[in-house]
Structure 1
Amino acid sequence: MDPSPAPESAPVASSSSAPVPAAAAAVDNLAGAVAAMTLEERFATLRGIGEECIQEDELMRLLQNKPVPICYDGFEPSGRMHIAQGIVKTINVNKMVRAGCKVKIWIADWFAQLNNKMGGDLKKIQTVGRYMIEIWKAAGMNLDGVEFLWSSEEINKRAGEYWPLVMDIARKNNVKRIMRCCQIMGRNDQEELTAAQIFYPCMQCADIFFLKADICQLGMDQRKVNMLAREYCDDIKRKNKPIILSHHMLPGFKEGQEKMSKSDPTSAIFMEDDEAQVNVKIKQAFCPPKIVEGNPCLEYIKYIVFPWFGRFEVIRKENNGGNKTFVTMDELISDYESGALHPADVKPALAKAINEILQPVRDHFNNNSEAKVLLNTVKKYRVTN
């Protein structure tokens, strides 16, 4: 498989330090993206990101009425970045920018502190945030239409706007409703939660309005708090509700792992894993013959390899069927279910593809001294739940 950059990628530059002319150029680029695509193409590009969209008709109306919608995504800086955060987010952001959206990525440092990540040490959390931005730059995220915003800085700048909004959301919901949202933090209502963790959903709901987001582009695990935001619109009689575009959650490599976990390093590929580590993890991954449902290797192919390369190449001996290039997931699934494509074919091809995708990230951290220091610092941190 020939190395190639992420689809729809562009030269990257730091959005936080971009001068005014560069910012103006970014707006022009977004306007150009809108002009280059039909309404239907823009809709299909955005809808293709989501496993679920609430609601499709609202998304179409938004694109008709607003040339440059604001998409909101956010993350807790909570340790090393796995491939779902690194590559899937890069793919999705590039699609949003291509469809003419402005993407606000909320670096939720205060939220990570509320959730006791990195032991609640804000300095460590912010170091992890800078490391994550370095990864997306190296991975090929198109930053022309991206703005990284630190929650601690932005909330302090506009505290008089933010906290009354949080308080109003808290007033209009009972504790039981808020507790149902606690899975957004990787928590459940059976755990003993701190008061800070119970307050977290009210703040995340407020973020959507604080950032003036038209589209919430987060994982399926964040669905409940996004729905809370739509319910809040009903409470305050607001007509335009945020559209929820929830992407699929990649599973871990072990049988029955519905979500990749940083706390189990063998279940996930990290963005700076070397070639040997990737090979071993994929070789040991759960991949039952002829079984598609719940097969993490096939999910990696569907949600990472195909969107990145547009194909999946299998190299094998003639007596095992010879080389084959799959151009659709349906074609691959058909061969896999019939047994024409075996796990022993899939795993080496998947490892090769993933290693090609990750090589620019490895090169960046090997060759850039500041990035290398960030990575080595983050690796020393102990991940806390």
Structure 2
Amino acid sequence: MPEPAVSNITIEACHSLSDIPRETWDRLAGTDNPFLRYEFFEALETSRCTSEETGWKPCHLVFRLKGEIAGVAPAYLKSHSMGEYVFDWAWADAYRRYGLDYYPKLLIAIPFTPSQGPRLLLDPRLRDTLDALQAHDLLDTLAARLGAHSWHILFPNTEDQQLLNHDKQLHRIGCQFHWRNRGYGCFEDFLGELTSRKRKSIRKERRQISEQSISFRRFHGREIPGHVLAAFYVFYQATYLKRGQRPYLTQQFFEQLREKMPDHLHVIMAVKDGEMIAGALFLKGKDTLYGRYWGCLEEYNHLHFETCYYQGIELAIELELQTFDAGAQGEHKLVRGFEPELTHSWHGVAHSGFREAIAEFTQEEAEQVLAYFDDAKTALPFRQNDGA
């Protein structure tokens, strides 16, 4: 009797990206998505943003089919839950109250990046061979071997979701807001699709920016001057320091992005009286603009909305991109034309008692998120072909 197909598949963990050949990673991940680029993870590691000391110990996965590399996945052994944007603090606290260890956990995700995309970068042959139950069993076994008490895959795309979906799943959903480009030639084309009241509100916000004598400058790739990137990093740091936190990323990381991934990188700086007062950094994918990091030292009316959202929309239109993903949170995006979109994560929990409790939690949470998602769709500011 032939052995099960899964016996031909193995997973191993590599504790440095350098253990995986760059050409192998590029073949499986492609080069269109900035958050899957070999250079992106290399910059995180060489700048020490992802390290055992920061609680992000690299543990990248290599899948082998009949001994040959047929897949990779960005992965980390985590000693905390910061920088993930799928919140499991309550799970960790419950473990603690029962005297159990929640950490380390095996995290398959893009560090500090709540953007949906491929997570299991598999050769088509391997994807066709695996089914959901086999994938979960392989990850369960690997997590146990690594001494992890659970595994988590955050923000996978539709293809990965299909592979992960089975009856025993622990599946969570969330809601973000993304802007869609419906063939707009300029920002005014977009405003023309909104109701009169929302159009006037956004125009008023933008007018108040100019009334404060604030203008904007854009920089791209290697053309970003060193003093501009340094100023941006000061603003980025301020966002965290205002909350009493240390920033996740270093200036060296951003400098490496400029040198190694220039085609993806855009910086927009707000200028007042000849001085830079705020900045936002964007990464360009094949059809999506990602707004990731921003900061300012002083608060100005509507400066955040203009720098992070309206300038981003203009940039997405200029670059002829289909989607603008401006980050994880923000119901305030809804009234500015960003549409609700469901996000997903999958979780494998070794402890049977907690697995049952978490399954109940995720089911109740999903009902609430779906209700919120439906309500959000009814609150979109677009005209209903009524001339409003």
Which bin holds the TM-score, normalised by the shorter protein?
A: under 0.3
Tell me which protein shows more strand as a share of its residues. 2
TM-score (norm 1): 0.25
Larger Rg: 2
